[in-house]
Structure 1
Amino acid sequence: MALHHPPAEGAWARIDAREAGFDPAGLERIAAYHRAHESEWPRSMYHSNGEYVGTAYIDEKPPYNTVIGPVKERGPPAGMLLKGGRIVKEWGDIDRPDMTFSVAKSVLGVLAGLAVARGLIRSIDDRVADYALDDGFAGAHNAQITWRHLLQQTSEWEGALWGKPDSVDRNRQAGPGANNAAKGDDRALSAPGKHWEYNDVRVNRLSLSLMQVFRQPLPEVFDAAIMAPIGARDWIWHGYFNSTVEIDGRAMESVSGGSHWGGGFQIPTTALARFGLLIAGEGCWQGRELVPQSWISQMLTPCPVYPVYGFMWWLNTDGALYPSAPHDSVFALGAGNNVIWIDRANDLVMVARWVHKAHIDGLIAVVRDAMR
């Protein structure tokens, strides 16, 4: 089936359930399952005791749980299912911009590819210190860190950024069997490239380093290169109240790689679906290469240290991430939970907003069961 790219204006093409290979009754069960397994997070994003859910869910302690970026109330469950780029099913308010948490990390992975394509980063195995406009990579340990290390979350970068030390996320885990009982406990650092750790301070360091390479705010780069060409609108990407720096005489806000402390993407389901469709099409949109196919391939290659992770994208290597999904599936994932699922084997893209974390695989299974 030829890949359809929706126009920037006008109706998004739809496809009949049977033509798309789905049982119509099975399709109805997808939205019903999602609604029955909504995220446990409060709609306000704050618990009754005043704790922000973005830090409370990982039991972060004061003073590092302080919110330093914008927070928006979340909406109810919403989603879209595409076959070959055409809408098979949608549910909820798909036009509502909502926070997306670590889906922003996957955007950073794409922006790194643009920097490579433009020659702003000569090689992802170059030391980031050679590109830095500050002293964040000074010292024997940090000087060894390459762009590849930052992109794979194996950098072991040591320091503080925007008032948050990297130690706040030491011992933090994500993915299959994640256990965060030791999150924030000190540990000896490994050599860069030898240890995988889900560390939001280090991801924010990647974001700042990319802005220094582009010498332009990342939302401007992303909009001009990706979002405007694919017709994705009504989104905004926040940094923090204290993350503005000056480059070439211009004040620029360094955006966050998630919403751990507030900030991050606020974006509609429709825009996420367009972004997912771009990745499903290996970086091409309406015959135009927006992201090099070679970069998409690198970005979705398993990290040797942690094979369910690529360059800021989640991989279903050997079915370890979500057993119900094909093994070549790839995901952009954000807490709460926000999901872009790209099923390359079956030409599907699904976006699901605010699904209970324990039921993401169940939702995938319902989609699979609906396929004839």
Structure 2
Amino acid sequence: MAEGAEKGPGLGPWVVSTPAAQGLDAQALAEAAEALGQRGERQGLVVVRGGEIAFERYWANPWHRAEPGWRNVSFSSGKSWGATMVGRAITEGLIQLDDLASRYHPAEVSGLQPDVTIRHLLTMTSGGTLMVKPSTRRPRRLDAAPKPPGPGDEYVRQPVGEKGSPEGYGVSLAAGSTFYYDGAAADHLADVIAGASGVSSHRYMMERVVAALGCETFGYQPEGVDKAGNVRIGGSILMSCRDLARLGQLYLNGGRWAGRQLVAREFIEEAVSPSPRNPNYGFLWWLNTNGRVPLAPQEMFYAAGARGQFCFVLPRHDMVIATMGFGEAQLSAEDAWQALAKVLPPSDPLGGPHA
């Protein structure tokens, strides 16, 4: 993330380049796409280098059509969009990282400990809450009978923490003491943004983040927006691989987009740096600090969602790789990189040799 660097489509459509123009091997990309397609029911793969699409491939299956504009379900890759909404609000001076969440969203409503901060929620160290929303809805098969969308999901109080949660989760577990990956607590960041901005988090996200990035397909499942107009941070986004790649390019740019600093560079850098309780997690972004994805570069960071919704950001290679899809097979980051490792160039004319 070079100082002042800005690449990508801005408010317009992506520029579609070629592998050769971006220093990539066309055959390696085609082979990677073939291998990735065999690992699970993919809908799309978009490889960006130098701020331009160097390669893309789309597949048709019972859940998707092979179209660049097809909207996939984000699952938890939506969390990284939530982090970006928080970063935008910080950049606008509405909130600060170490503000108490209860300043904007009362603890008696959220179920969070009163001393939970925005930073705790971003790093999955809040200690949890029993006030939760249901999980993201799975996409429906193309041949399924039409069904009217349901209303937005509201918070409900569950009696105990989910299976596997640490003792005292959502009741007595101290904020900042334990990393536990759970989108239920992070969802409350949407209400924090609403309280700080004076508008619903859906409106804030769509106007201050999505429109500002020039996204072409981004929206929410109806269940992902509650009656107050607040979104589920943990998922429920509908978007194309191309729009998911915009998010990665924003972070690769150090927060610059369309001629302005959309998200403060300092926030971007901290968001993709190891957090105190988990070196492989930043602000709702996964990291590869300890090589948890063995075939991927150590400096890679990525958004990740169930069934293989990924946005991999590779700063040293000036690349973003987005892939989405759904099916009966689960696709892990490790599975994805069994295929994708071969697309990385051995040397980089844009930035010198790769180690």
Question: Normalised by the shorter chain, which TM-score bucket?
Answer: 0.7 to 0.9
Contact 2:313/2:321, CA 8 A, preserved across alignment: yes
Q: Is structure 2 residue 304 aligned with structure 1 residue 366?
A: no
CA displacement at 1:94 relative to structure 2 = 2.3
TM-score by length of 2: 0.78
Which residue does the alignment assign to 1:311? 283
Closer, same or farther in 2 for the Cα pair 1:133/1:95, shift >3 Å? same
Structure 1: how far apart are the matches of 2:127 and 2:55? Answer: 42
Which residue does the alignment assign to 1:205? 188
Contact 2:288/2:301, CA 8 A, preserved across alignment: yes
Q: Is structure 2 residue 139 aligned with structure 1 residue 165?
A: no
Contact 2:190/2:230, CA 8 A, preserved across alignment: yes
Closer, same or farther in 2 for the Cα pair 1:331/1:143, shift >3 Å? same
2:115 to 107, 124, 144: 144
Which residue does the alignment assign to 1:270? 242
Structure 2: how far apart are the matches of 1:370 and 1:34? Answer: 21
Contact 1:316/1:326, CA 8 A, preserved across alignment: yes
1:348 to 319, 330, 334: 319
Kindly provide the amino acid, as one letter, of the partner of residue 146 in structure 1.
Answer: T
Closer, same or farther in 2 for the Cα pair 1:187/1:238, shift >3 Å? closer
CA displacement at 1:369 relative to structure 2 = 6.8
Q: What whole-Å deviation, never above 9, does each CA across 1:314-342 have from its counterpart, x for those lacking one?
A: 1111322x121211111011111100000
Contact 1:166/1:201, CA 8 A, preserved across alignment: no
Contact 1:331/1:339, CA 8 A, preserved across alignment: yes
Q: CA RMSD in A?
A: 2.8
Contact 1:23/1:371, CA 8 A, preserved across alignment: no
Contact 1:101/1:335, CA 8 A, preserved across alignment: yes
Structure 2: how far apart are the matches of 1:236 and 1:128? Answer: 26
Kindly provide the amino acid, as one letter, of the partner of residue 297 in structure 1.
Answer: E
CA displacement at 1:272 relative to structure 2 = 1.0
Matches within 5 A, 1:225-236: 225-236=208-219
Closer, same or farther in 2 for the Cα pair 1:110/1:7, shift >3 Å? closer
CA displacement at 1:293 relative to structure 2 = 0.6
Which residue does the alignment assign to 1:98? 72
- Identical-pair percentage: 23
Contact 1:165/1:201, CA 8 A, preserved across alignment: no
2:36 to 34, 37, 46: 34
TM-score by length of 1: 0.75
Number of equivalent positions: 310
Which residue does the alignment assign to 1:85? 51
In the alignment, structure 2 segments of 5+ residues that lack a partner are: 59-66, 133-154, 349-355
Matches within 5 A, 1:240-279: 240=223, 243-244=226-227, 252-259=228-235, 264-279=236-251
Q: What whole-Å deviation, never above 9, does each CA across 1:270-321 have from its counterpart, x for those lacking one?
A: 111122111110111132111111110121121111111111111111322x
Matches within 5 A, 1:167-206: 167-169=160-162, 171=164, 189-206=172-189
Structure 1: how far apart are the matches of 2:172 and 2:314? Answer: 36
Kindly provide the amino acid, as one letter, of the partner of residue 135 in structure 1.
Answer: E
SS of the residue aligned with 1:352? strand
SS of the residue aligned with 1:228? helix
In the alignment, structure 1 segments of 5+ residues that lack a partner are: 40-75, 173-182, 245-251
Which residue does the alignment assign to 1:249? none
1:125 to 95, 98, 122: 98
Structure 1: how far apart are the matches of 2:19 and 2:200? Answer: 42
CA displacement at 1:25 relative to structure 2 = 1.3
CA displacement at 1:15 relative to structure 2 = 3.3
